[in-house]
Amino acid sequence: MSERRVLVIDVSRIPSEGLEVQESLEPGEVHLEGEDSFDLAPGGRLKCRLERGEDDSVHLRGRLSARLALQCGRCLEPFSLPVEQDLDLFYLRRRAEDEVEEEDEVELADRDMVIAYHDGDELDLGEMVREQFFLTVPLKRLCREECRGLCPACGSNRNHVRCECPPPEAAASPFGSLRKLFEDKDR
């Protein structure tokens, strides 16, 4: 089976009037194979226009539309996260002096958020789409803000069932023994 590489663009072949890209998104094209934190739902699309500038720079403007399948961090139920992202990025050809030594802390300027680099003559739009997905996925993944989660005693999903488990005792807290030390000290 041949690898489909429609999101890999040969920069030297972008015509002077620009190049329209309208493609459906597949997990393999956006480098998500083996990704276990979310799945790309069918139906995603990338619509953009690429314009080549001087020095093989490329200006990308367009829209990314997709749905990501995630798992709620409280109730463990699957849910869908819509991704609707306007794109306005500049790609510059990577030069040897652009290579940055690894540092402990790197501060990004606003300019760095809209500039990316490409190597050689190929521009991989799949990498850009993958980055946009990771920037969109929240750190705290919740099916909804008011999600009640799972009962720690019986494991029932509190969004669907009202369990009759008693509230956990203070001693069950990892800090319960510390609380007991302070109570003894006050006596």
Per-residue pLDDT reduced to its tens digit, 99-112 = 554 455 555 444 44
Single out the residue of 33, 65, 35 nearest to residue 48, CA to CA.
65
Task: Look over the chain and give the mean of its residue pLDDT values, rounded to a whole number.
Answer: 82
Q: What is the pTM of this model?
A: 0.73
Per-residue pLDDT reduced to its tens digit, 161-181 = 988 888 766 445 677 677 777
